[in-house]
Amino acid sequence: MFGLFSTKGFKDYVKAARQVLKANWTGAYTRPSPGLYPHQWNWDSGFIAIGLAHYDQKRARQELTSLFDHQWPNGMLPHIVFNPNVLGHYFPEPDFWQAPEGRLTSGITMPPLHATACWHIYENARKGDTGKDFLNLMYPKLMALHRYLYRERDPDRSGLVYIRHPWESGLDNSPAWDEPLKQIRADKKTLPVYERKDLKHGVPADQRPGDGDYDRYVYLVDLFRRMGYREADIRKECPFMVRDVLFNSILCRANRDLLMIGDLLKQDTAEVREWVEATSSAISDRLWCAECKQFESFDAVNGRLIHSATAAGFLPLFAGAASRDQAQILFKTLDSIAFCALHQGNCFTVPNYDMTREDFDSRNYWRGPVWININWMVSKGLKRYGYTEKADAMNRDMIQLPIRFGFHEYFDSRTGKGYGSDGFSWTAALFLDLVYEYYSEDKHGRDWFKPHKRDRLKAMKVLNSLDDGSMAASDAPAADMMAAINHLKERFYDVHRGRVDYETIRHSPDYGEYQKIAAGLRRFNLASLSSDEEKTAFWINLYNALVIHGIVDLRIASSVKEVSNFFKKIGYGIGDFVFSPDAVEHGILRANSRPPYKVFAFFKRKDPRIEFSLQKLDPRIHFALVCGSRSCAPIRFYEAEKMSEQLNMAAKNFVNSSEVIVLPEKDKVFLSQIFDWYKRDFGGKEGIRRFLLRYLDKDEKWDFIDRNWSTIKVEYLFYDWDLNH
Ligand code: GLC
């Protein structure tokens, strides 16, 4: 593998996204959008701070501190903080809410994303600023919020807190609320008189909640204010009380982040630990409907689960609350026509509601469109459980939707068209987070220029030199090694942190076993590989096992860049020869080609290893080689009999992931740098076109490439060298 970082591909869009956040910045907080939402919203600020954290720590912190300045004395964090200078454009405002002591806030809360946002801010603090002061300031406020939730919203200590208004879920008119809202007989005659203002900002009524919904929203607010916001009284009367799967999942995730903050600040975190455990297991046990194969919210008034299929049901992945089996089932649903399958085409992942339901509506607010915040959380959740391909496909959609259709509030799940408010803050903020996370040079560049001296290898290290003779030569050592590697990955996968714990692998007896298998490789007879398929499978598996072995052996913490020339400096001995990853890739799999930016073929003419080179270069191998960084293929075991099918799948997955972004409206295509480095392997620009057309999903983007290739501007995406833990 060859590492070079260039590309400024997303510069213009990063600028545009920052501009959205700047235009919505009021001096103390960021409005969700200029017209429709002029005040400060609770979870919006959490998402916004996550985006800001990458380039303006000060504003990110202020976003949250201004919100928490309005925390109620009982710890509740209101869902809206009103700006007294812009009253009159929104309903309901403080005159309607009548919050205690004349507070300029609403009287309900929202999903508590804030500990997660604080941890993210801390993780992105620049050098010279540990970010600890900020955490010290926020910790007691976050604790007060979580204590409020467990004390007031979970009085019977079930581990699941209840919401008492659809607005508290953040998904106002979600189909999941249809049934519980039926409990409310909102009689116009007894309802307070009110006027909707949300329809006065140019958004068509069919993209917003209906009047019937609004009557019920108002009914509930009226109840709360009549009860003086005393939770014990509200609880007795309230016809809408739901243990919402989304709210509890975000709380569960926030507990985990709060725990990390508390531990870092050396606080006594016993209470937080209990919350983590209680909510995580309650979600997994009590919000899971086995027959429906999905997570659901629990209607606490009627005492039953609400069988509605919304994207909220995927949030236990973000929480790390789903078991492995549950995650597997969720993945299957996510990857089906219900939620826009991988390679389905003509849809965007993931719509907020099951697309096969009769009342699915690709335009109406929380009843079918794609929302970036939900997708962002689901994608993180999928990554946590190892479903990288689907997560990447989602990331690609989250990046392309705003670029193609604007920074809208939500997007049509079939056409991508943007709806609701334009210039919407969290769309811009999370777009920025994704771009900084996956494609930014700045972020990684900082560390790369500081080589980790301790691990610099002067000479090549042969990783299978320990040959204790106890291991008989196996017929298929590469296969055994891959099986062993997969076993190690499986065993040492840390569900909570969503990564492979390479450090623990190093100390495990399983690793000792693995080393023995690798040692057996020394006696393997390469001449026993006959067909091209057998050879290709062997060398791909060998390459992948070697790279992972190298990462573990050399104690690489976050990037293979920590060891200069990593791909040259490690190797496996087989027979009389040693093969580095570069030798396997360029010398053998690429049919002895020259590495990018080099003048000569990898093996010199007299190199005896040349006899093992494949005769024909198949560019699909680029998508099967795991290179120990996030942009590369997920690790998979290749079999000679299934070779072509597997390589097709690898190519298809890659081409339809966030490594290929087609923007017909901009006459532009962003391609992974792999297509730049190995242009010749694909047959030049025209070859790349053919390759893309072969593997891309057939939709309007396929047509666009087919027709306009000669005039399309191609830019290359930054290559992310962070470890794919
Ligand atoms: C709507 C959304 C909610 C969001 C708010 C401000 O009420 O349903 O999730 O926080 O607008 O953007």
Distance of CA 168 from the midpoint of ligand 1 (Å): 10
Distance of CA 153 from the midpoint of ligand 1 (Å): 21
Q: Which two tokens stand for residue 575?
A: 């027979």
- 166 touches ligand 1 (CB under 6 Å): no
Distance of CA 149 from the midpoint of ligand 1 (Å): 20
Q: Give the pLDDT band of residue 618 (cuts 50, 70, 90).
A: very high
Q: Give the pLDDT band of residue 635 (cuts 50, 70, 90).
A: low
- 44 touches ligand 1 (CB under 6 Å): yes
pLDDT digits (tens, 9 = 90+) for 360-388: 999 999 999 999 999 999 999 998 888 88
pLDDT digits (tens, 9 = 90+) for 138-195: 999 999 999 999 999 999 999 999 999 999 999 999 999 999 999 898 888 889 999 9
Work out the burial of residue 473: count CB atoms within 10 Å of its CB; fewer than 13 is exposed, 13-18 middle, 19 or more buried: exposed
pLDDT value at 134 more than 90: yes
- Cβ atoms within 10 Å, residue 626: 22
Ligand 1 nearest-atom number relative to CA 44: 10
pLDDT value at 1 more than 50: no
> Which residues make Cβ contacts (< 8 Å) with residue 102, sequence separation at least 6?
94
Ligand 1 mutation pick, 114, 172, 217, max ligand atoms within 8 A of CB: 172
- 90 touches ligand 1 (CB under 6 Å): no
Ligand 1 nearest-atom number relative to CA 170: 9
**Contact (CB, 8 A) for 248 and 161:** yes
> Which residues make Cβ contacts (< 8 Å) with residue 325, sequence separation at least 6?
none
**Contact (CB, 8 A) for 320 and 254:** no
Instruction: Give the CA-trace dihedral at 578, 583, 588, 589, to 10 degrees.
Output: 130
Mean pLDDT in residue range 390-409: 90
pLDDT digits (tens, 9 = 90+) for 412-465: 999 899 999 999 999 999 999 999 887 665 444 433 334 444 445 667 899 987
Distance of CA 170 from the midpoint of ligand 1 (Å): 6
pLDDT value at 717 more than 80: no
Catalytic annotation present for 409 = yes
Q: Which two tokens stand for residue 498?
A: 């969503």
- 217 touches ligand 1 (CB under 6 Å): no
Ligand 1 nearest-atom number relative to CA 421: 12
Distance of CA 546 from the midpoint of ligand 1 (Å): 48
- 29 touches ligand 1 (CB under 6 Å): no
pLDDT digits (tens, 9 = 90+) for 254-284: 999 999 999 999 999 999 999 999 999 999 9
- 392 touches ligand 1 (CB under 6 Å): no
Mean pLDDT in residue range 389-404: 87
pLDDT digits (tens, 9 = 90+) for 306-318: 999 999 999 999 9
Ligand 1 nearest-atom number relative to CA 366: 8
Q: Which two tokens stand for residue 114?
A: 């804030």
DSSP state of 351: B
Strands (E), 435-482: 461-462
Q: Which two tokens stand for residue 711?
A: 């005039």
- 32 touches ligand 1 (CB under 6 Å): yes
Greater pLDDT, 547 or 157: 157
Percent of the chain with pLDDT over 90: 65
**Contact (CB, 8 A) for 280 and 203:** no
Catalytic annotation present for 152 = no
Answer whether the bond into residue 92 is a cis peptide, omega within 30°.
yes
Q: Give the pLDDT band of residue 471 (cuts 50, 70, 90).
A: low
- 247 touches ligand 1 (CB under 6 Å): no
- Cβ atoms within 10 Å, residue 490: 11
pLDDT value at 483 more than 80: no
Question: Among 172, 335, 389, 533, which one carries the catalytic annotation?
Answer: 172
What pLDDT sits at residue 500?
61
**Contact (CB, 8 A) for 621 and 28:** no
Ligand 1 nearest-atom number relative to CA 409: 12
pLDDT digits (tens, 9 = 90+) for 18-55: 999 999 999 999 999 988 899 999 999 999 999 999 99
Question: Among 168, 409, 533, 720, which one carries the catalytic annotation?
Answer: 409
In single-letter form, the type of residue at position 453 comes to K
Distance of CA 167 from the midpoint of ligand 1 (Å): 8
What pLDDT sits at residue 217?
96
pLDDT digits (tens, 9 = 90+) for 286-313: 999 999 999 999 999 999 999 999 999 9
Q: Lowest-confidence range among 349-353, 534-538, 669-673? A: 669-673
- 37 touches ligand 1 (CB under 6 Å): yes
